[in-house]
Amino acid sequence: MSATALVKAFRLVSFAEAVSWTGLLIGMFFKWVVQSGEVGVQVFGPIHGAVFVAYVVIALLTARAQRWSLWTTFLALGASIPPLFTLWFERWAHRTGHLDPARAGRTATA
């Protein structure tokens, strides 16, 4: 996979992870607060689980290709736990040059 394709995949999966988290949170709201059933959790639970795993895999592949520091890699992985933090990390990484396809193969500084 080219560096450009990997960066695009990371950005897409980061967004998908946040969307699936949102769906799961809405499903949990309807299950526990409104008490209208488990359908939302039954639908979004497996979707979020699959996208979460995809995010972890693509984050590790991107970290290796972009030569992220251990700190940046841990930040990327940690961003998958709180809801919507993958969006924050993706924007931060893009702004700071950690998602620059030209960076692949160069030494990381942060």
Burial class (CB in 10 A: 0-12, 13-18, 19+), 73: middle
Helix, strand, coil share (%) of the chain residues, nearest 5: 75, 0, 25
Domain range list for the chain: 3-98
Which pLDDT does position 83 carry in this prediction? 93
- Tens-digit pLDDT string for the chain (110 aa): 888 999 999 999 999 999 999 999 999 999 999 988 888 899 999 999 999 999 999 999 999 999 999 999 999 999 999 999 999 999 999 999 999 988 776 554 55
pTM of the model: 0.89
Which pLDDT does position 105 carry in this prediction? 61
